Structure 1
Amino acid sequence: MESKPVMSIAVIGGGMVGVSLAYFLSRAGYRVILYEASDQIGGLAGTIRLGDVEVDRFYHTILSSDTHMQALAEELGIADRLRFRPTGSAFFHDGRLYPMTTLRDFMAFPLLRTMDRARLGLTILAAYLHRDWRRLEEISVEEWLVRWGGRRAFHHLWRPMLRAKFDGRFEDLPATYIWARLIRTRSTRRGVSQREMAGYLVGGHVTMIRAMARAIAAAGGEIRLRTPVQEVVVSDHRVVGVRVNGVTEPCEAAVITLHPPLIPRLLPGVEGPWVEDLRSWPYLGVVCVLLALDRPLTDYWTIYITDESVPFTGVIETTHYIDPADVGGYHLVYLPKYVTWESPWARRSDSEILEAWLEHLQRMFPAFRPEWIRHARVHRERYVEPLFHRGQWQRIPPLAPPLSGLFLVNLTQIYPALTNGESLTRHARWAAGEIQKHLA
């Protein structure tokens, strides 16, 4: 009996979703060619070199509750590179730092009265017990937080953080947003002390991405860097290939893992309401300063900033859960500002951003000295997190639009889960299974 020829699938985009999807499809027996426009795979989970060491461009963590990431690490033979350790967080408000690591810290938090603390606990419990997220879709995040936690907690705690996260505007944000974050944050807490647990892969998320890339190659697939796809070629409403460097390379299916606003340019001549929805999808970007210091800046993994005079969203010191020995002995501090791309900060030069960020960091931490800095980098990304307004989940792009052999797999489809390694790899596994059903 003749064996059935192996089906060829083009995967466009080499971020974490694209590489994960290519891995799962390769493992299912398809011949996969992954096309990536840049010179490295990983996307936002990629690395940069500081001297002789690679470090994450942006901050990432693996929680003890991230069971899919841990199982995938085991599957790829890299589970021995997983590390977890307890860590802590704090709030910066009105020029002062307030620990928020233990239950005792929470009970002593001076910005809230006893009743406010009780209602904040009720807010977290309400989120944890809520199961049907669609019922939260028509409620604004402000309405829901005030309903459970009260106006004072909203004013002192939630409002400044929401303004910082959403570049000043969160009026039409659904309550689903805070529900998903409270659920994930709670999953970092363990034991009577309720200390946070955070983890990482030695080498960063790219350790997993590179392990998947090796598995793709071993299965007969390819990863082509510096190879932007110009067009997904469609004939008689069916994908027949992808155009690269002016030449059509045949394939029997194509999976686009790019962000929705970037997809229509690959489909010239294809029209329809679903294409217009892709073009108009709103996104948050980020401007992020990375400092590699010769000593720790604080005692905390994450400092949430409720002081609206500070331009960056938070202070994330990843080397409170990453062993500095695994990143060249540096202490890594990330200072992100989430922006819409119309924000003035998105257009300022690297030197202007770095000057402003260091000025505020010095004000927050008077003991800090610029001489501690061994490397400083400013990173920008226009497409980081899709924005969801109330009811917008109904416009999520379909996995299989009305073109035979075309599939879309992107961050909007993980909603209401958060954009992290756990949700992205889990979604890629699910999408690979659905694609197999369509192609069977």
Structure 2
Amino acid sequence: MKIAIVGCGLAGMSAAYDLVNAGHQVDIFESTDYPGGLAGGFKEPEWTWSLEKFYHHWFLSDSQMLGLIEELGLKDHLVIRQPKTVMYHKGQFYPFDSIPAAILYPGLGWGINKIRFGLATLYIRLTRNWKPMEHVTVDTWMRKWAGETAYNQMWLPMLDGKFGEHYARQVNMAWMWARLHSRTTKLATFEGGFQAFADAFAAELQKRGVTIHYKTGVDQIHQNDDGKITVATKGSEQNFDRCLVTVSPALMAHMAPDLPSDYLQGLLNLKSLGAVVMVLAIKHRLSDKGYYWFNLPKAAGFPFLALVEHTNFLPKEYYGGDHLLYCGDYLETDHEYFKLTQEELLERFLPALQRINPEFKPDWVRKTWLFKTNYAQPVPLVDHSRNIPDIRTPMAGLYFASMSQVYPWDRGTNFAVEIGRKAARMILTDSQK
């Protein structure tokens, strides 16, 4: 078969890998000039490693991603570390990267509060039966089982920061189960950065015969009278036997307007948030205790959700001696951060860095980079499984795989690989009918 894939992120590339290995002709259409999608990175001339535009790492439980790396013969390029994650409480940061550390976290108080927190966390870690949890919100489940203190001190600030006031109390508990069930404290990355992995993966695909069309956005997809799928790009139309689209639901609806109205409306009804991430290269270490991931409560006046000191995870020598920070937030796309300039946003963020390290001064900042995307975090409401679009669309030969469909798992490259390969299996199975 002649198969088109729209999007050269990890889902699209993983599907292409299995399809070309099955003997089919595969063309990938990518609107940017690089592979990797939201896991893509950038590199300064003096850096030996690239840096992800939107912070990324792998958990050791990410079996789909790590399995693919092993298949590609790249396992020796994995880098594994155990950085430190901290939570904020009354002006101080406390370790929060293990159950013992969480139990010692002073925000929980003592006695019954810690016991309830421990039992609720243990249940989530052990149970595989997440389906009943999607019928109830995190807000309701955690208040009932973990207790008001644990919920108000830990989970509610995270939900408020992650989903905003509009969605924080509507997110279902299956989403929280997926976040807590199998994550590990040890994290992994790829030697050279995620972009190095994406480049190596793309090169392997091309070696196997996949054609990647960079700087080639898809304008429209429709079905011909003979059943072929036409993929229209600027100034060109090509016909394919099958087509897999791996972009956002809203962009899919725009590309394929001939889909039945109920499927299109289902795509448009899916809720998601965008992301705004500022990366700073600074002259000195921000956290002298080596903290990597700071969970910051918006209620305490912090202007972003997470501070990630990347060079407390990987050595600054990979980045020309720069100490690198991420200041990141998930936001609705009408939020003012999407409109502010880089300079205006930096001015908003600098006081927060001074709160974390009183010695920090604005002249520590050597350079900044600002990255924004409208589609970064799906919002799973109660009974969300009813809302997930089928990978097989109603248009014969057209398939759709996005991070809005990896539920109950959260977005991430591991699940992009999983859903891309799942879509490829469907295409192969359907072709044999």
- TM-score greater than 0.5 by the shorter chain: yes
Q: CA deviation at 1:395?
A: 1.6
Could you tell me how far apart the structure 2 residues matched to 1:411 and 1:383 are?
10
Counterpart AA for 1:331? H
Which of 231, 251, 263 matches 1:262?
Answer: 251
Structure 1 pair 104–154 and aligned structure 2 pair: CA distance change class (3 A): closer
Counterpart AA for 2:80? F
Bigger mean CA offset, 294-303 vs 320-329? 320-329
Contact 1:354-1:378 at 8 Å conserved across structures: no
Contact 1:238-1:403 at 8 Å conserved across structures: no
Matched, 1:214 2:210: no
1:349-378 CA distances to partner (integer Å, 9 max, x unpaired)? 222111101122212321223333232112
Matched, 1:168 2:168: no
Counterpart AA for 1:176? A
1:46 paired residue number: 40
2:71 paired residue number: 75
Which of 334, 341, 358 matches 1:349?
Answer: 341
1:195-239 CA distances to partner (integer Å, 9 max, x unpaired)? x31111012222222222112212222101111111113123833
Structure 1 pair 289–184 and aligned structure 2 pair: CA distance change class (3 A): farther
Could you tell me how far apart the structure 2 residues matched to 1:386 and 1:113 are?
33
1:193 paired residue number: none
1:181 paired residue number: 179
Matched, 1:134 2:131: yes
Alignment of 1:183-332 (within 5 A): 183-185=181-183, 188=184, 196-236=185-225, 238-298=227-287, 299-308=290-299, 309-332=301-324
What secondary structure is seen at the aligned counterpart in 2 of 1:171? coil
2:419 paired residue number: 427
Q: How many residues align?
A: 425
Structure 1 pair 161–34 and aligned structure 2 pair: CA distance change class (3 A): same
Q: CA deviation at 1:136?
A: 0.7
Q: CA deviation at 1:104?
A: 5.5
1:192 paired residue number: none
What secondary structure is seen at the aligned counterpart in 2 of 1:111? helix
What secondary structure is seen at the aligned counterpart in 1 of 2:120? helix
1:30 paired residue number: 24
2:148 paired residue number: 151
Q: CA deviation at 1:101?
A: 4.2
What secondary structure is seen at the aligned counterpart in 1 of 2:43? strand
Could you tell me how far apart the structure 1 residues matched to 2:407 and 2:97 are?
28
Structure 1 pair 183–237 and aligned structure 2 pair: CA distance change class (3 A): farther
Could you tell me how far apart the structure 2 residues matched to 1:263 and 1:317 are?
35
User: Unpaired segments of 5 or more residues in structure 1?
Assistant: 1-6, 189-195
Bigger mean CA offset, 275-284 vs 63-72? 63-72
User: Unpaired segments of 5 or more residues in structure 2?
Assistant: none
Could you tell me how far apart the structure 2 residues matched to 1:315 and 1:405 are?
43
Could you tell me how far apart the structure 1 residues matched to 2:226 and 2:160 are?
44
Counterpart AA for 2:410? L
Q: Runs ≥4 in structure 1, deviation > 4 angstroms?
A: 101-104
Q: CA deviation at 1:111?
A: 1.6
Could you tell me how far apart the structure 1 residues matched to 2:253 and 2:16 are?
22
1:54-93 CA distances to partner (integer Å, 9 max, x unpaired)? 3211111122222332222222122121111222111123
What secondary structure is seen at the aligned counterpart in 2 of 1:250? strand
Could you tell me how far apart the structure 2 residues matched to 1:29 and 1:329 are?
46
What secondary structure is seen at the aligned counterpart in 1 of 2:106? coil
Structure 1 pair 405–167 and aligned structure 2 pair: CA distance change class (3 A): same
Could you tell me how far apart the structure 2 residues matched to 1:210 and 1:179 are?
33
1:376-400 CA distances to partner (integer Å, 9 max, x unpaired)? 1121111012111111221211111
1:20 paired residue number: 14
Could you tell me how far apart the structure 2 residues matched to 1:104 and 1:180 are?
20
Structure 1 pair 351–438 and aligned structure 2 pair: CA distance change class (3 A): same
Structure 1 pair 112–434 and aligned structure 2 pair: CA distance change class (3 A): same
Counterpart AA for 1:324? K
Which of 341, 350, 365 matches 1:373?
Answer: 365
Could you tell me how far apart the structure 1 residues matched to 2:144 and 2:226 are?
50
Bigger mean CA offset, 215-224 vs 240-249? 240-249
Which of 327, 332, 350 matches 1:340?
Answer: 332
What secondary structure is seen at the aligned counterpart in 1 of 2:369? strand
Structure 1 pair 285–184 and aligned structure 2 pair: CA distance change class (3 A): farther
Could you tell me how far apart the structure 2 residues matched to 1:343 and 1:294 are?
31
Contact 1:294-1:331 at 8 Å conserved across structures: yes
Q: CA deviation at 1:102?
A: 5.5
Q: CA deviation at 1:129?
A: 2.5
Contact 2:403-2:415 at 8 Å conserved across structures: no
What secondary structure is seen at the aligned counterpart in 2 of 1:301? strand
Matched, 1:390 2:382: yes
Could you tell me how far apart the structure 2 residues matched to 1:200 and 1:428 are?
20
Matched, 1:118 2:94: no
Counterpart AA for 1:18? G
Instruction: Tell me the TM-score normalized by structure 1.
Output: 0.92
Q: CA deviation at 1:162?
A: 0.8
Bigger mean CA offset, 150-159 vs 233-242? 233-242
Counterpart AA for 1:144? W
Q: CA deviation at 1:319?
A: 2.4
